[in-house]
Structure 1
Amino acid sequence: MRVPTPPAIAAFTIIAGIAGAVPQALAGERETATYQFETDVKVLSEQRTRGVSDSLMRPSVKLGMQLVHESGLVAVADIVRVSKKQFLGGDGVGVTLAGGYRFGDPEAWHFGAGMAAEFFPGAKFEAPHSFDMDTFTPGAMRSTRYDSGFALVEVGYGALEARLLDVVSKTYRGADTGGVCGAMLQFAVDPTAALACYARGDRNSRGSLLFDIDYKFALAPATTLTLHAGRQQVANFAEASFNDYRVSVTRKQWGMEWNADFVTTRTRARELYMVQDGDRVRATDNRRLVLSVSRRF
């Protein structure tokens, strides 16, 4: 049993795309079309969500599709390879579907709102959702899925953008009593914190809040630097809350987009980000340099 590594959205690496794409995507297309459809294929040295690995520090590949209407409406779909050891029992695939609306001036004040759902087909874990302190034995096992749903609001001014995501599903990537308390009990040397977690009763993580702020500026005509800071506030499980930071350099060259992202996190309970990989336990929240290349069609 283990708690899912709490994200980003992979969904809102996506919804963040609503931020920049909607007002500008049709700037040169308005005379000939009212909408634009794009496909993006990306190869990554590792798939990270909110600074935490989803691919167990292994390479990944992502397919993205985006439909943008000149009115400001946008629909997005992403399919990405994830680790079966992290998203237990699944097909090793993460799917995100998102839609939203954006309005305003991309060079000045602009706003947006959206909804998204993140799925991991077949993936679920089983863990006890209670613990008998008298007999020191776990309660009955119950299964939890990793699927999540989100609502988003966004405000920005020029290159500065801030987003607030609200988890509207029952759990946030499976973060409930069985997932959080169970992972702490499994990987922590001292069980005290895990038992205190169980003592709070059977809870879920609906209402969790994710905060993001990004600033982009041009280093050169085809090179962009992005600074990111995020906060994950998990409802009912303060030990699962953490901050993430990212510095990204993007270069457009030879018809492709080349990225170098340095990511790091500040987690409170590291055992929530531990994964059993064969005969060893691996941490998925370490700082990392992630390289990727993508091609848009």
Structure 2
Amino acid sequence: MHPHHLAAAALVACATVAHAADPGIASYTVDASATLMTDVRTRGISDSLNKPGLRLSMLAAHESGLVALAELATVSKKQFLEGDSLGVTLAGGYRFGDPERWHFGVGLATEFFPGAKFDAPHGFDFGTFTPTDVQTSKYDSSFAVLEIGYGAIEGRVLNVISKSYRGADTGGVCGTMLALMADPTQGLACYARGDHGSRGSWLFDIDFKQPITPSTTLNLHAGYQKVANFSEANFSDWRIGITHKHWGFEWNVDAVGTNTRVRELYLAQDGTDLRATDNAKLVLSVAKHF
């Protein structure tokens, strides 16, 4: 199970477009961008198994405050099993208030990974000591989003309204712990709680952007995810980065990291090796806006 989330950035990016919209020139704006990254990270966790990737985004904002996002990103088939190596995010919402002072946003977002799914036992027979009830789970998730900001500070709260969050169900969480942890105690205790999804999970984010020069910005982020029914999957994340605009591109350097409770939930099978996706790392990226 690899919980991470792209929609946390959706309203932030949409806000930039919305705040830039000039009703005296046009009633809406559209911003398309392509970003090449040394690692595709979401909430501090790698989606690309620590390898380079590409993200394509299309943002639209209307002067009324309506905003929308469509995004494609490359992901690893070794994490999003049987998938097409793509993650898709769609988000829409409404923003209001003063961008220089208090401002707010509400919206809905969904992310899905075409073809990606996994089979895992959702039960455990403690009499015969064997896993039971194998079911197919997907990584797709949907969210309700609330944003509250003041000036350069942006805070977001996301609530999972889909059946599960990124495959965080009994099969994904309990099955992974039982299979990968040397001590089976936690995995068995997880199964003993019964079959559950993770609807009702909460994701919290706060971001701050401070211009250093006209072309350079300091970016700070902190986040926390509280996964319903599976506290083992709770974790916090952080990011410290610099964005510099030059030659028509945005150049980014970000130090990212996480504090996970059960690291086995963030390991991915790569051939005969298990690779961590939650390790601290320096991520480089370059973006072009069209």
TM-score (norm: length of structure 2): 0.98
Q: For residue 215 of structure 1, report the CA deviation from its aligned partner.
A: 1.1
1:245-292, Cα deviation, whole Å (9 max, x unpaired): 110111111111111111010000000001110011111000011110
Q: For residue 227 of structure 1, report the CA deviation from its aligned partner.
A: 1.0
Say whether residues 1:7 and 2:28 are aligned partners.
Answer: no
Name 2:267's counterpart in structure 1. 274
Unmatched segments (≥5 aa) in structure 2: none
Say whether residues 1:16 and 2:12 are aligned partners.
Answer: yes
What is the identity, as a one-letter code, of the residue corresponding to 1:292?
A: S
Classify the secondary structure of the residue corresponding to 2:195. coil
- Aligned-residue RMSD, C-alpha: 0.9
1:184-211, Cα deviation, whole Å (9 max, x unpaired): 0111111100000000000010000000
- Partners of 1:233 and 1:275 in 2: how far apart? 21
Match of 2:58 among 44, 65, 82: 65
- Partners of 2:29 and 2:12 in 1: how far apart? 18
Say whether residues 1:153 and 2:146 are aligned partners.
Answer: yes
1:76-121, Cα deviation, whole Å (9 max, x unpaired): 1000000000000100000000001101111111000110010100
Name 1:240's counterpart in structure 2. 233
Q: For residue 141 of structure 1, report the CA deviation from its aligned partner.
A: 1.1
Classify the secondary structure of the residue corresponding to 1:57. coil
Match of 2:125 among 128, 132, 144: 132
Name 2:257's counterpart in structure 1. 264
- Tell me if the contact between 2:198 and 2:227 (Cα under 8 Å) persists in the aligned partners: yes
Classify the secondary structure of the residue corresponding to 2:12. helix
TM-score (norm: length of structure 1): 0.96
1:40-81, Cα deviation, whole Å (9 max, x unpaired): 011000100100000000100011001111111111100000
Runs (4+) of structure 1 moved beyond 4 Å?
none
Aligned length: 290
Name 1:222's counterpart in structure 2. 215
What is the identity, as a one-letter code, of the residue corresponding to 2:80?
A: F
- Partners of 2:194 and 2:13 in 1: how far apart? 38
Name 2:114's counterpart in structure 1. 121
Q: For residue 19 of structure 1, report the CA deviation from its aligned partner.
A: 3.3
Name 1:143's counterpart in structure 2. 136
Q: For residue 180 of structure 1, report the CA deviation from its aligned partner.
A: 0.2
Classify the secondary structure of the residue corresponding to 2:174. helix
- Partners of 1:181 and 1:247 in 2: how far apart? 33
Match of 1:42 among 22, 35, 44: 35
- Partners of 1:13 and 1:92 in 2: how far apart? 20
What is the identity, as a one-letter code, of the residue corresponding to 1:25?
A: A
- Partners of 2:91 and 2:195 in 1: how far apart? 30
What is the identity, as a one-letter code, of the residue corresponding to 1:197?
A: C
Classify the secondary structure of the residue corresponding to 2:177. helix
Match of 1:167 among 157, 160, 167: 160
Q: For residue 219 of structure 1, report the CA deviation from its aligned partner.
A: 1.2
Classify the secondary structure of the residue corresponding to 2:61. strand
- Tell me if the contact between 2:146 and 2:158 (Cα under 8 Å) persists in the aligned partners: yes
Unmatched segments (≥5 aa) in structure 1: none
What is the identity, as a one-letter code, of the residue corresponding to 1:47?
A: V
Match of 1:25 among 9, 20, 26: 20
Classify the secondary structure of the residue corresponding to 2:136. strand
Identity %: 58
Classify the secondary structure of the residue corresponding to 2:84. coil
- Tell me if the contact between 1:35 and 1:68 (Cα under 8 Å) persists in the aligned partners: yes
Q: For residue 169 of structure 1, report the CA deviation from its aligned partner.
A: 0.3
Match of 2:197 among 194, 204, 207: 204
